[in-house]
Amino acid sequence: MLRINDMAKSAGVQTQLAPIRVTLRGSQREMGQQHGEALRPLPGWEGLIDYYPKMPALLLSGGLPERMRVPTRKLLRTVSRLPMSLLSAARRRRHPEYFARSEAMLKAAGQDPDLVRNFACMDTFQNLLGVLAHAGIAGEHIAAGAAHGWCSSLAVWGSASADGAMRHARNFDFPGAGLWDRAPAVVFCDPDDGLRYGFVTTRGADIAGVTAFNEAGITLTAHTRFHRHVNFAGTAVVDFGHEIIRCARTVADAERIARKLGAASGWGFLVSSAAERRAVLIETTARGVAVTEDPGQQWAACTNNYIAPELIEGEIAASPTIRIDLENRLGVLQRTAREAAEGAGLSLADLKRLLASSHDFDAGWDDETQRHAGNCILSPVTVQSIVSEPDDQCIHISTGAAPTAWGPWIRVPWSWDDAVGAQDIGHLTADEETSMPPDDDHRRAYRLYTDICRRSVLGASVESLTADFREVVRLAPEEPNFRFYFGMSLARSGDLPAAERELRAALKLEDGPFRRGLTLSWLATVQDARGSHGEAEIHRSALAGLPSRHLESVKRQACSLSRAKARRRIAGAMMTPVMLEAHVA
């Protein structure tokens, strides 16, 4: 059994398992079997196998009123079996070698091989959301509760890099905190056919298409997209990315493979080539593939919104809070890379710090104050953070708990010559946790907030989390997003005077126009519910004067309400702690 990661243990977080390195060799089926055999005696992966079949229903029901979540979740568990089976059958038909690998891994690990259908869970979730949106059922509230796939990637080279080297950094944000981040793994594959390649994952996930690299210097990172076009017979993301990283020596190869494959659902792949000093964004819907590149710049960024104009039509509109988050993260990545290209460039340490950034782009770039949560790159569901350095033939991975960008980090050299099997690499020297907030209270607040988000994804009610959010606010009283969400939790519980106090405190602390607008809207509603209509009107007037970027729907909803109607609006507010938002269903 592998030893416990003492650094994570001493940080006062969940028990972290030592990172492992897995070496596989042979056919795809043989490598799957080898992976399963390596995992079988190890702890820390069974929960992930159990989570995947539940995930589509958990996420899709997360945007519904709480009284509807449990029965809807049960219905969706049943409904999702058919599309998951259809996508699994498509995997068997289109990519039999990868399908055989998945089956062999499960069987060798002592699991039911029929669980292979769960490898298509992300495409199932995204396509079910697409079906609901196409049918006019998935409004902003469902998209807000379901769209939990946030990732950020940045590739730099040339003038944007401190020494000209290619570096490709990414945060993998996924609603699996406590599972995916608990047991990081790097898998090296030496296939009979194709390039030698590797991927960063977690124990139990033999998935090469999310964060991967190959011996030709290609690095690939995948990002969720949400679109109305669906295809239950298309190529699942686990095979799409796998085929690119196994076969592509150049960016042109990656584009050719992507267009040939097509995809089952919406994705964005940032693909960089160290040999060519290039990076492109490959985006997919179930009906098309688009490639975007700016040859004039020496960096490329990617988050989760479509960039290619021809694919934007049909994109599922998320809540205003999610849209501002998408723009903020992309804005921070682009501004950082642009300024670096005009200055000293970004080093490895710079990129690690960037992945841990809590800067709110909406609040003004000149404001150096880091937020604790909200519209920023760092997320409570950041479950994997990496920086690939193909020029140096290595990859840096975080081994800590979510948010993983805090570290600690280890450097893993690329090597495909080790003996087949798994080995503990926890002995590798870890970098100092320079990205972690220096203040103990801030660290504890964010760890507790991360746990709140984990429980929320699993179905916990707003009311059951209120006491813990009170402690989060006590530990980090200057974070306006925490104060806002806690205030709305109090309002939902009926404590309107306390809710008003928290929302007023949030307003004093908030500089970003969007978050100020959201706070003003709900503060006015709480004041209407208390009968303070004059004060409510003052705050609605202030809201009307704010810049209207993404505030249109918030302003429309900020109408004058009677006491009874305001109370009903508060009781029906849809709240998601991951986004720290509240909105009207």
Parse the chain into domains and list their residue ranges.
Answer: 6-424, 461-584
Bond into 408 cis (ω within 30)? yes
Write down the residue that tokens 């069987």 correspond to.
107
Closest CA to 175 of 373, 386, 333, 384: 384
138-180 pLDDT, tens digit per residue, is 555 565 556 555 799 999 999 999 999 999 999 999 888 899 9
Q: Mind spelling out the 3-state secondary structure of 435-455?
A: CCCCCHHHHHHHHHHHHHHHH
pLDDT of res. 8: 33
226-265 pLDDT, tens digit per residue, is 999 999 999 999 999 999 999 999 999 999 999 999 999 9
Q: Counting beta carbons within 10 angstroms of the beta carbon of residue 296, is it exposed (0 to 12), middle (13 to 18) or buried (19 or more)?
A: exposed
Across residues 523-536, what is the average pLDDT? 97
Render 56-91 in DSSP notation, one character per residue. HHHHHHTTS-HHHHHHHHHHHHHHTHHHHHHHHHHH
State the virtual CA torsion across 237, 84, 127, 460 in degrees, nearest 10. Answer: -100
State the virtual CA torsion across 509, 513, 517, 518 in degrees, nearest 10. Answer: -70
Among left, alpha and beta (phi > 0; psi -120 to 50; other), residue 360 is: beta
305 Cβ neighbours under 8 A, 6+ residues apart: 225, 315, 323, 326, 327, 330
- The amino acid at residue 51 is Y
Contact 15, 8 (CB under 8 A): yes
- What class, spelled out in words, does domain 461-584 have in CATH? mainly alpha
Q: Counting beta carbons within 10 angstroms of the beta carbon of residue 580, is it exposed (0 to 12), middle (13 to 18) or buried (19 or more)?
A: buried
Closest CA to 575 of 505, 499, 501, 513: 499
Across residues 282-304, what is the average pLDDT? 96
- The amino acid at residue 322 is I
Does this model's pTM top 0.85? Answer: yes
Across residues 427-438, what is the average pLDDT? 69
Closest CA to 148 of 449, 397, 379, 403: 379
Render 274-292 in DSSP notation, one character per residue. TTTTEEEEEEE-SS-EEEE
- The amino acid at residue 239 is D
168 Cβ neighbours under 8 A, 6+ residues apart: 153, 154, 155, 219, 221, 270, 272, 279, 387, 388, 390
Q: Counting beta carbons within 10 angstroms of the beta carbon of residue 83, is it exposed (0 to 12), middle (13 to 18) or buried (19 or more)?
A: buried
Render 132-152 in DSSP notation, one character per residue. HHHTT---HHHHHHH----EE
329-381 pLDDT, tens digit per residue, is 999 999 999 999 999 999 999 999 999 998 888 887 665 566 788 889 999 99
| Confidence check: pLDDT of 135 > 80 | no
pLDDT of res. 4: 29
Q: Please report the beta strands in 161-249, taking only residues with DSSP state E, as ranges in sequence order.
A: 164-173, 184-191, 197-202, 211-214, 218-224
Write down the residue that tokens 């003003």 correspond to.
520
CA distances from 561 to 449, 521, 536, 540 (A): 32, 12, 9, 11
**Minimum mean pLDDT range among 68-72, 120-124, 500-504:** 68-72
| Confidence check: pLDDT of 88 > 70 | yes
Percent of the chain clearing pLDDT 90 (strictly above): 72
Contact 230, 266 (CB under 8 A): no
Domain 6-424 has CATH 3.90.1150.10: no
β-strands 218-224, 211-214 pairing: antiparallel
Percent of the chain clearing pLDDT 70 (strictly above): 93
Closest CA to 126 of 90, 85, 172, 80: 80
**Token duo for residue 538:** 């003052």
